[in-house]
Amino acid sequence: MTIDPLRLIAFPGAPNLPVFVAMDRGYFEAAGVNVLLETTPSSSYQAESLIKGAFQIGATAFDNVVAYQEGQGAVSFEESPDLFAFMGATQLELSLVVAPEIESFNDLRGKSVALDALATGFAFVLYRMLEKAGLSEDDYKKVPVGATPQRWESVKAGKHAGTLTIEPFTSVAIANGFRVLANSRSVLRRYQGGVFVVSRNWAVSHSDSLIAFIRGYLEGLAWTLEPNNYDEAVVTLQRNMPAIKDGVVDAVMVKLLSPETGLTPLATLDGLGMKTVLDLRNCYMQTEEALRNIDRYIDLTYYNRAIT
């Protein structure tokens, strides 16, 4: 029997490892779905692709879900988005990678920092990190560049002084002589980073496919987090992301396998972490009516059906 493909769009990065595993080991297929993975160049491209139906599922930052549901995204649409997070993915540790000559936060004054977008994703995390270090938003320039690979390359090429990165780009940057000035956990102890997202309309009409995806992913996640599978997991990660060399792969895996800085066991969502996301958006977007209702952006119905 031919299984219709399910198109998943994700940001490039080591957190995609459970997806790689589930694809390579046949967990998705065994659950009843054929997953095709593509990576996105930016959050705006991803949101537009999901809302217009070019992809069925997205792996993205929880803040992106909130932003587009509230009409605060980098792209506006004639139709009202109906996206929701149905499963967690990562807590994420975001590192502020800077050029070798940047030795302190003060050295960023008058310099430019690379972002995915100015008011979605992890932008507010960076603003909070810089604010806590004594910099106002007038002290540096904010430039939208795109997803982590593009941002890292722009810093590596000397176009911008710094950017936020996730693994493996943080370890790759360090190996290339760049400096981590700080990480997000120094200012935010709980932060819901990555989630899986889908449109409500699609979910209702394709519930079996969505549940199959969840089951396949959870199988891949469990396998990835099993210590006995470490060596094979490294091989899978490097095969799918050849830029991760032997000299940095162990550092990448340490962060990825920690529930505090990487993959979330059982792919659960963190209520306090999601509250942090809303608090940051309220602060920096200065919304007239504070965003407080987390249930507006999530629906665990399909996850709960998948695990029973």
Burial 2-33 (b: 16+ CB within 10 A, else e): eeeebbbbbbbbbbbbbbbbbbbbebbeebbb
- For residue 48, give the H/E element and its range: helix 43-51
pLDDT for position 257:
97
What's the whole-number average pLDDT of the chain? 95
Q: How confident is the model at residue 27 (pLDDT cuts 50, 70, 90)?
A: very high
Examine the pLDDT at 1 and tell me if it is beyond 60.
no
| CATH domain 5-90+191-252+283-306 topology | D-Maltodextrin-Binding Protein; domain 2 (3.40.190)
β-pairing, 95-98 vs 179-183, is antiparallel
pLDDT tens digits, residue range 269-299? 999 999 999 999 999 997 778 899 999 999 9
Torsions phi, psi of 113, nearest 5?
-120, 145
pLDDT for position 29:
96
pLDDT for position 92:
82
Q: Is the separation of the CB atoms in 156 and 178 below 8 Å? A: yes
pLDDT for position 289:
82
pLDDT tens digits, residue range 131-161? 999 999 999 999 999 999 999 999 999 999 9
pLDDT for position 7:
98
**Which two structure tokens, joined as six digits, stand for 253?**
């895996």
CATH 3.40.50.2300 assigned to domain 95-186? The reply is no
Domain assignments of the chain as residue spans, ordered by start: 5-90+191-252+283-306, 95-186
Give the mean pLDDT of 6-21.
Answer: 97
Strand ranges of the sheet holding 57-61, from the earlier edge strand across to the other edge: 34-39, 5-10, 57-61, 194-199, 83-88
pTM recorded for the entire structure: 0.93
DSSP secondary-structure letter at 263? Answer: B
Q: How confident is the model at residue 46 (pLDDT cuts 50, 70, 90)?
A: very high
Give the mean pLDDT of 20-44.
Answer: 97
pLDDT for position 73:
87
pLDDT tens digits, residue range 62-110? 999 999 999 998 888 888 899 999 999 998 889 999 999 999 999 999 9
**Fold matches, 5-90+191-252+283-306 and 95-186:** yes
Examine the pLDDT at 2 and tell me if it is beyond 80.
no
pLDDT for position 48:
94
